[in-house]
């Protein structure tokens, strides 16, 4: 076993800087030649052993209109940028499955020393075969094992067996989700040190702020080479900052390392890139580290700006049990559509084969069932027209005396009879804006302890199944069969439970309509969507639920829903001027 003493580790390990390659995820590899040349020069002067100058990719898999030149890192480009610099060895990386043997010339025709191939566990055997062909062209080669924390004992055993029979020069352990802690490092490194002919590398990520601590432990345990990047530049939470590892070992070996050239390069070139495209520690990447999953799962959920941290934590526990490779949008879609996320998902999620969830439906009779039978209702949604048409809506109320129900923030524009919340986030933000004589309605899935902490007045629960893709119905107890996607649409259903004869809606502009500032609400809400595809998705779900509810009304020989302010749900629009 090639386990080294602490002294031997310090004397023998190497550093590979991957700023231009891993950092390219931040700006799609649009680095200019001047910066890359200065980075290579500075890193070489600082004592770095290898500098990775981007990815090797081809037009077969990557569009040159979308990606910068360092996503392709052609031989001539690398010769040009390193010309005249007696510097560190040059490495490039490629993704297995998006590269072929013919994409590499013989090593003696290039300035490249090391080819690294990133691979997930389902393609390791084929990736090793490709590396051995590349090695025959004269390169040093490295297998970069992605997502080591997702490997089972059997996976690792199989991997070690394949590597023992291979001729690769380096085997890199990549903590892809930044989920490893220092106390886990030794068992991982020692296992890979059993491979007789390969040097062991470690690529940390900083999701849990463990990159530096894990790297020191990896070196102590015998890792031969470690990765870093200037200012930690890289996808998501970033990497081990090169300047930190240099400054640390400069104190131990001042004649070997010098952090100053790298610090100057960061100050002169990199800070502007950081200002334009920041990277580093954030909640999505922290949670990615905690659950050893791809950060896009958390990012996707946060981008929807609907779910609490408790919701996201609970769903990440579920996704971790699925142990997916990389990111799958289908998993997120299934989680949302099937009701695995939201205040409606209680603490007893059970994962048995295909996930199922028990909503623990409360067998109670809704207290307000039939309370206002035969009355007209006005539902207040929160679109910009609620404020724009405030005076006319108030005149409508004075003329027809409907039961008024609103939700979330109403800005004292109109005082409703009932003020509702169905999401914990909205309740926490706006509970103190409810008028003293408005009755409070709370979705049944807002936790009781949370309500008791912040509310010292009576309230009633709205009972519904927190599922988005279920057809609309109301059972004999007054329970609603779905969450209707948004609280304003759900309140139309609540009015039916209360016995509505006619239902009018104001401020339901739709998510294809905005005000002059591009807002979907009459007030600025930092929790509103920014991603266009999510906005469109929400709009279509609301339209679908409006259609479902309207069909239900017609089946009961009731009138259609009437949206009385301008809306992109055109089928239901009848302008307020028709009523005044």
354 within a domain of the structure (yes/no): no
449 within a domain of the structure (yes/no): yes
Rounded to the nearest 5 degrees, what angle is found at the Cα of 502, between the Cα atoms of 496 and 507? 90
Q: Are residues 265 and 306 in the same domain?
A: no
Q: Are residues 439 and 303 in the same domain?
A: no
CATH number, domain containing residue 560: 3.90.1480.10
Q: Are residues 286 and 202 in the same domain?
A: no
DSSP 412: T
Per DSSP bridges, beta strands 199-203 and 225-228 are parallel
Q: Are residues 72 and 156 in the same domain?
A: yes
> What is the mean pLDDT, run by run of 10 residues, along the chain of 580 residues?
45 92 96 97 98 95 95 97 96 96 97 96 94 98 88 91 96 90 94 93 95 96 97 93 96 94 94 92 85 85 76 84 79 70 41 35 80 98 94 97 96 96 90 96 91 94 89 93 91 98 96 65 62 79 93 95 95 95
Cβ atoms within 10 Å, residue 59: 8
**3-class DSSP state of 351:** coil
Six-digit token string for 527: 């929790």
Per DSSP bridges, beta strands 459-462 and 502-506 are unpaired
Structural domains of the chain, count: 3
Q: Is the Cβ–Cβ distance between 87 and 48 less than 8 Å?
A: no
Q: CA nearest 460: which of 535, 541, 528, 371?
A: 371
Rounded to the nearest 5 degrees, what angle is found at the Cα of 411, between the Cα atoms of 405 and 414? 45
**Predicted local confidence at residue 8, as pLDDT:** 46
What is each CA distance from 359 to 110, 238, 466, 476, 483, in whole angstroms? 62, 39, 8, 18, 13
CB burial of residue 87 (10 Å; 0-12, 13-18, 19+): middle
Q: Are residues 232 and 302 in the same domain?
A: no
5 within a domain of the structure (yes/no): no
Q: Where are the beta strands (DSSP E) in 106-158?
A: 114-119, 140-145
Q: Are residues 391 and 537 in the same domain?
A: yes
Residue span of the structural domain in which 481 resides: 373-576
332 within a domain of the structure (yes/no): yes
Q: Are residues 186 and 330 in the same domain?
A: no
CB burial of residue 159 (10 Å; 0-12, 13-18, 19+): buried
Q: Which of 234, 253, 274 is the last residue of a domain?
A: 274
349 within a domain of the structure (yes/no): no
**3-class DSSP state of 41:** helix
Q: CA nearest 233: which of 274, 203, 289, 269?
A: 274
Q: Which of 256, 274, 292 is the last residue of a domain?
A: 274
What is each CA distance from 388 to 127, 136, 384, 476, 566, in whole angstroms? 61, 72, 6, 39, 10
Q: Are residues 197 and 293 in the same domain?
A: no
**Predicted local confidence at residue 342, as pLDDT:** 53
């Amino acid at each position: 076993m090639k386990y080294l003493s602490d002294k031997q580790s310090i004397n023998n390990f190497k550093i590979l800087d991957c700023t231009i390659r891993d950092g390219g995820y931040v700006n799609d590899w649009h680095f200019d030649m001047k910066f890359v040349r200065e980075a290579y020069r500075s890193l070489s002067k600082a004592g770095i052993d290898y500098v990775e100058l981007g990815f090797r990719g081809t037009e077969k898999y990557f569009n040159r209109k979308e990606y910068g030149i360092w996503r392709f890192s052609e031989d001539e480009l690398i010769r040009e940028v390193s010309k005249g610099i007696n510097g560190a060895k040059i490495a490039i990386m490629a993704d297995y499955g998006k590269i072929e043997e013919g994409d590499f010339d013989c090593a003696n025709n290039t300035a490249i020393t090391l080819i690294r191939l990133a691979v997930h566990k389902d393609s390791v055997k084929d990736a090793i075969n490709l590396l051995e062909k590349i090695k025959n062209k004269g390169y040093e080669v490295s297998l970069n094992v992605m997502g080591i924390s997702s490997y089972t004992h059997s996976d690792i055993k199989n991997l070690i067996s394949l590597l023992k029979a291979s001729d690769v020069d380096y085997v890199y352990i990549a903590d892809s989700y930044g989920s490893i802690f220092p106390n886990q490092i030794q068992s991982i490194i020692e296992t890979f040190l059993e491979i007789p002919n390969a040097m062991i590398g470690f690529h940390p990520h900083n999701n849990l702020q463990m990159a530096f601590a894990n790297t020191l432990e990896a070196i102590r345990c015998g890792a031969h080479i470690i990765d870093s990047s200037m200012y930690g530049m890289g996808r998501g939470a970033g990497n081990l900052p090169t300047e930190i590892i240099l400054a640390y070992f400069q104190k131990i070996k001042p004649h070997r390392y010098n952090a100053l050239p790298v610090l100057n390069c960061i100050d002169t070139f990199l800070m502007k890139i950081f200002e334009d495209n920041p990277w580093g520690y954030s909640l999505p990447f922290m949670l990615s580290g905690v659950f050893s999953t791809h950060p896009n799962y958390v990012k996707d959920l946060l981008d929807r700006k609907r779910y609490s941290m408790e919701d996201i934590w609970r769903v990440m526990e579920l996704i971790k049990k699925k142990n997916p490779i990389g990111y799958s949008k289908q998993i997120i879609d299934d989680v949302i559509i099937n009701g695995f996320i939201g205040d409606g998902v209680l603490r007893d999620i059970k994962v048995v084969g295909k996930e199922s969830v028990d909503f623990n439906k409360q067998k109670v009779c809704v207290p307000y069932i039939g309370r206002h039978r035969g009355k007209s209702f006005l539902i207040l949604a929160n679109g910009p027209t609620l404020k724009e048409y405030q005076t006319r809506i108030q005149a409508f109320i004075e003329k027809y005396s409907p039961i008024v129900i609103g939700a979330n923030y109403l800005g004292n524009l109109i005082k409703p009879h009932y003020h509702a919340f169905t999401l914990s986030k909205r309740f926490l933000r706006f509970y103190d804006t409810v008028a003293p004589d408005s009755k409070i309605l709370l979705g049944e899935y807002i936790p009781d302890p949370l309500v008791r902490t912040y509310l010292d007045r009576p309230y009633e629960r709205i009972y519904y199944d927190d599922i988005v893709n279920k057809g609309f119905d109301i059972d004999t107890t007054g329970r609603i069969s779905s969450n209707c996607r948004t609280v304003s649409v759900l309140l139309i259903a609540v009015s039916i439970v209360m016995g509505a004869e006619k239902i009018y809606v104001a401020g339901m502009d739709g998510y294809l309509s905005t005000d002059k500032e591009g807002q979907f609400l009459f007030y600025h809400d930092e929790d509103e969507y920014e991603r266009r595809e999510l906005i469109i998705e929400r709009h279509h779900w609301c339209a679908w639920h409006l259609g479902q509810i309207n069909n239900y009304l017609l089946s009961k020989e009731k009138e259609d829903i009437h949206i009385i302010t301008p809306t992109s749900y055109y089928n239901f629009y009848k302008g307020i001027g028709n009523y005044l």
